[in-house]
Amino acid sequence: MVAGVALIFEVQRSARSEARKEEVRKQELEVQIDKYI
């Protein structure tokens, strides 16, 4: 039971960190686009 909860928590945590990385990547892309315009 505890292992299942820990697994779900770990998956959610890694999903959040992936989403954060995507967000940062998107912002960096926008900054690069702003430089070209």
**pLDDT by 10s per residue, the chain, length 37:** 789 999 999 999 999 999 999 999 999 999 988 887 7
Which pLDDT score, from 0 to 100, does residue 32 have? 87
CA pair distance 2, 19, nearest whole angstrom: 26
Q: What is the pLDDT of residue 18?
A: 95
Residue 30: which of 18, 3, 14, 22 has the closest Cα? 22
Question: For 1-37, b where at least 16 C-beta lie within 10 A, e where not — what string?
Answer: eeeeeeeeeeeeeeeeeeeeeeeeeeeeeeeeeeeee
